Chain A
Amino acid sequence: MEKYLYIALFAPIVGSLIAALFAQSPKNLFTGIFTSALIFVSFISSMILLNYVDMDKIVHVEMMDWISAGNLSVPFGFVVDQVSVIMMVTVTLVSTIVHIYSIGYMEHDESFNRFFSYLSAFVFSMMILVMSDNFIGLFIGWEGVGLCSWLLIGFWYKKHSASWAANEAFIMNRIGDLGMLMGIFLIYWNIGSFQYDVVFANIVNLDPSEVTWIGIFLFIGAMGKSAQFPLHTWLADAMEGPTPVSALIHAATMVTAGVYLIVRAGEIYILIPEVGMFIASLGAFVAVFAASMALVNKDLKRIIAYSTLSQLGYMFVAAGLGAYWIALFHLMTHAFFKSLLFLGAGNVMHAMDGNLDIKRMGGLYKAMRPTAILMSIASVALAGIYPLAGFFSKDKILEVAFNNGSYLLWGALFVGAGLTAFYSFRLVMLVFFGEKIYEKDGIHPHEAHPFVIYALTPLALLAIVAGFFEHSFHEFTTQLLSDYEFTLDHSVGAMLIFATSAMALSGIAYAVYKYKRGGFSENIENWGVYKLLSNQYYIPKLYEVAIMKPFTALSRFAWLNIDNKIVDASVDLIAKTIYGGGEKARKMQSGNLSSMLRWMVVGIVVLLALAIFYRPTV
């Protein structure tokens, strides 16, 4: 089985490196097909592993030593267990589809080969992240996906906004990474190992305050990667990247790494419910917060991005409350329907010649029926309507919140569910139905290549049926993860399901109803709330004014005033003083014999005076 592990892990990087060889040559279809094939190989291997992994059958390899110094020793070790294999399958599946999709999507791009190289490199990093058997390996993947995300967001580097967004993403992630590193350091100095099994075996022996700190630091890392408030702004900006990237990285895989980390480190978080509660609260807050921003946004991709943010909040609620398998389950189903949504959006975007403003679309159903259907499925799934995947996973999370007695959280998530349904269908309605506003811009939409559409069908299928795997999923993952016990009555559970579904349905209904009739009047754009939401609560602005600008100013101040005018000048001052002393002292050397003689006599007289008046006491 180790063979499959290595294949699953290294197939993507082989593809990436080979594609990189062609990076500077013109488009070569081979790179696209080759990398897609290799990712598919990786997917197959993952599936074999999924089949293999069982109660007492996990694959664990130690490839080689990496760093060893002092007491510290980190190997390159990989483990395929119930959690990682789920992630592997999800990642490779979505990746395969995104790769194939990209062959169509990027067909006219001059940097076609480079794109596939980056994309496969990302998959490799993600595989390291999920397969590592220790925190450092996780961190390698963590940073690796960050790098690939930077490369891919800034893929169209000629665009100023793209490279800006790439840098923003990287830097924001680094803030989280620092927190994560601190957590890792703390683990090391308390346990002396980074291996999951060793750490989890010993974590119970630690001082609770230490565990709390470890939990907090690791969560800071998760916040960066999963774009939780207040490190969330980069995710929306990251939509500057090509759409397949948004689908793969910023919806299905990388951003969920934070959730994966919490799930993986569940044995730590289970000891510190306070931190878990905080995580859940923050998650719930983000769920509503992000959904509210999605309500008014006009940018097709940003809406989906906010939706992702909101769903990540849901996952964190589950993870924070200890329902790890549910978090993981939502992570998986979300990966399917959200990437589908994004890829569909990519089709729309192509059809619209790159225009993303949903107010300038409308009535595209006619022109691109398959895409419209796929996106609608995804939206229904997202909204959580039975029997689609979202229903199962999302309702479970609400149930957990209620079960936990955190009614406030439940309330937030409940509202969030309604909002989700509304904005999803606002998007569908504005894009696919209603008046064909795009015609005013002289755009002639066209559907994507058939193979692209075919590539998307597996996702659509999964978005529909994945929910029914709930029980087997539960059984499988709880072999490793701690189970979550529901204490609710069945009737209460049913009530909750009903309420949530009703909420979602009414959201959908309201959206359909409203936008059938031409939507809201333009007036609302002048409302304070609208402005607040459409400006993302002014948070990006705040960051710019309160952090970026002062930092830049301070940096310039440090350079121009402190470094040049104080530190350096004082060094020069010493030199100048000495030199100036020389200039003054040389005046003594007037060259006049009389004064020279006088100096001598003065010397003698002073010394004589000292001889008389100066008496050192031994």
Chain B
Amino acid sequence: MITLTHYLVLSAILFSIGLVGVMKRKNLLMLFFSTEILLNAVNIGFAAVSHYYNDLSGQMFAFFIIAVAASEIAVGLGLLVLWYKKTGSVDLDSLQTMKG
């Protein structure tokens, strides 16, 4: 029987994967993927909890997250394209002109 706990654990694992990805990935695109994973991990959780409580607001939240994630990635990709045009690289390490 798959209980709420399983969903939540899955959510947590996905979230951690996302976090690790955010930390480890050097490719900007991959980084965006990782943030998507983060958000979707939460989505799973919301859906599961929403079902558990029999309450719709969780699912609403999930929908909103999806919408926000979509617009977020649109902006993100726009920035990425801009950067790629300018430097020809999507490597994170190329973003180091400002420091200190």
Contact = CB atoms under 8 A, between A and B. Distances in A.
Question: Are any A and B Cβ atoms less than 8 Å apart in their complex?
Answer: yes
Contacts of A597: 22-23, 31
Interface residues of B, number: 14
Interface in A577-618: 586, 589-594, 597-598, 601, 604
Given A592-B93, A597-B23, 5 more contacts: A591-B100, A592-B92, A593-B31, A594-B92, A601-B23
B97 A591 contact: yes
29 contacts: A586-B100, A589-B99, A589-B100, A590-B96, A590-B99, A591-B95, A591-B96, A591-B98, A591-B99, A591-B100, A592-B92, A592-B95, A592-B96, A592-B99, A593-B31, A593-B92, A593-B95, A594-B23, A594-B25, A594-B92, A594-B93, A597-B22, A597-B23, A597-B31, A598-B23, A601-B19, A601-B22, A601-B23, A604-B19
Contacts of B23: 594, 597-598, 601
Interface of B: 19, 22-23, 25-26, 31, 92-93, 95-100
A597 B26 CA distance: 11
Interface residue SS majority, chain A: helix
Contacts of A593: 31, 92, 95
Contacts of A589: 99-100
B95 to A, nearest CB: 5
Contacts of A591: 95-100
B27 to A, nearest CB: 11
Interface residue SS majority, chain B: loop
Contacts of A601: 19, 22-23
Which of B22, B26, B99 lies at the interface centre, i.e. has the most chain A CB atoms within 10 A of its CB?
A: B99
Contacts of B19: 601, 604
Interface residues of A, number: 11
Nearest to B28: A593
Nearest to A586: B100
A590 B92 CA distance: 13
Nearest to A605: B19
A551 to B, nearest CB: 52
A589 B99 CA distance: 6
B75 to A, nearest CB: 16
Contact of B26 (A586, A590, A594, A598): A594
B30 to A, nearest CB: 11
Contacts of B95: 591-593
Contacts of B31: 593, 597
Contacts of A598: 23
Nearest to B93: A592
Q: Which 8 A-B pairs have the closest CB atoms?
A: A591-B99, A591-B96, A593-B92, A598-B23, A593-B95, A597-B22, A594-B92, A591-B98
A263 to B, nearest CB: 82
A594 to B, nearest CB: 5
A586 B95 CA distance: 18
A594 B100 CA distance: 15
A598 B24 CA distance: 9
A589 B97 CA distance: 12
Which of A586, A597, A604 lies at the interface centre, i.e. has the most chain B CB atoms within 10 A of its CB?
A: A597
